[in-house]
Amino acid sequence: MKRVVVGLSGGVDSSVTAYLLKEQGYEVIGLFMKNWHDDSVTISNECPWLEDSNDAMIVAEKLGIPFQVVDLSEQYKKRIVDYMFDEYEKGRTPNPDILCNREIKFDVFMKIALQLGADFVATGHYCKKSEEEIDGKIVYKLLAGKDSNKDQSYFLCQLSQEQLAKSLFPIGELTKPEVRKIAKNADLITAEKKDSQGLCFIGKVRLPEFLQQKLQPKTGEIVQIPEDFSEFHKSIPTFQNKEAELIYFSQKYSYKKTDGKVVGKHQGAHYFTKGQRKGLAVGGTKEPLFVIETDVIENIIFTGEGKNHSGLYRNVLFVTNDEIHWIRQDLALKSGEIMEVKARIRYRQSLEIATLYKVEKGLFVEFENQQSAIQEGQFVAWYQQDELLGSGVIS
């Protein structure tokens, strides 16, 4: 009998995951990961971990499976929280959820599961896994979940063949309403529970307050860049080759304070990210202001009016060699090679047509359409059909 350790988070998805595996005849063990216990920055009683671990325990009891809580807060702080502070300080936007999967759930947690004699680790992610024999070797594929509304393959874009080999995603073939229905019929306490928001396993954290523990507030100016800024309208040079063109279009605009007008004050450029519109508290414009760039050195936030502001858009991004990750290593591009893909730069985004260009120093992703708020530190993930082939950190 194969043994599976399920990451029970206290939500409906992982509850149904455990239920289905038990029905399929696996020996199931439930583990709850405790990753955070600084209550000073979570918003009061918005899903504190205690309530979640209780729900997870009740589900385990109902299913008649062993259950325990593992405290991974030390590793979580090192690998996720410190990384977040570090990235924000540099003026980049991290994606803790992707890191949490790569570093915690499918690494630290997986190792604990394997020590418990598990054959597999299972999570309640909406994605699918398949395998195929290619050149005499088993290759694992990560596929989008059936529920296109809930597909979470993007969050797993940093997984490796070794991690996929030992992973199961039982609800990938189901839609969210079907999952809730199964939970209801099985009389699981989590059937109607709201989906948790916020950082994976931290619960709701007020980001500025969370960041303020490490990054001191310092007052700076908000500068509004007009749509007629000269850089937006300069003529495009002739390029000697494709790489020169890609380099040109992957450059972001750079602004100085004198390029616009000061319209307000802020408490620290490192609390803001590109594309953000909340929290600026500047009135008097016809359309809302959006952050188009932050300068953490000079502590200035550059903004533009309206979501179609030129400063928000470009269609080429770059990933350095050390940040390129192929799930399908057998398809990895060599220098000079090209691949047609569909790609996304954030979780909720629909897939966009793009081309990958592998060059000596890294990988360019050229989108057919202009993309809003391409932000350093975020992950770009590329697909063919419904298979996620690889990903990289935007540089």
How does residue 214 score in pLDDT terms, banded at 50, 70 and 90? confident
Q: Which of 169, 129, 101, 127 is nearest to 328 (CA)?
A: 129
Mean pLDDT of the chain: 92
- Which residue is catalytic, options 47, 127, 157, 200? 200
For the question of residue 100 being annotated catalytic, the response is yes
Tokens for 307, please give them.
């979501």
- Of how many residues is the chain composed? 395
Q: pTM for this one?
A: 0.92
Residue ranges with strand state E in 145-288: 167-168, 220-224, 261-266
How does residue 40 score in pLDDT terms, banded at 50, 70 and 90? low
Q: Which of 322, 324, 279 is nearest to 303 (CA)?
A: 279
SS3 for 170? helix
pLDDT digits (tens, 9 = 90+) for 333-389: 999 999 999 999 999 899 999 999 999 999 999 999 999 999 999 999 999 999 999
For the question of residue 47 being annotated catalytic, the response is no
DSSP secondary structure of 271-285: G--TT--TT------
- pLDDT of 2 strictly over 50: yes
Domains of the chain in start order, with CATH, are: 3-212 (3.40.50.620), 220-225+260-306 (2.30.30), 313-393 (2.40.30.10)
Residue ranges with strand state E in the chain: 3-7, 27-34, 67-71, 120-122, 127-134, 137-144, 167-168, 220-224, 261-266, 289-295, 300-305, 313-320, 324-326, 338-344, 352-359, 362-372, 379-384, 387-393
Alpha-carbon gap, residue 191 to 82, rounded angstroms:
34
Alpha-carbon gap, residue 48 to 266, rounded angstroms:
30
- Which residue is catalytic, options 47, 100, 127, 157? 100
* φ, ψ dihedrals at 191, nearest 5°: -50, -40
CB count in 10 Å sphere of residue 153: 26
DSSP secondary structure of 19-58: HHHHHTT-EEEEEEEE----TTSBPTTSS-HHHHHHHHHH
Per the CB < 8 A criterion, the answer to whether 7 and 1 are in contact is no
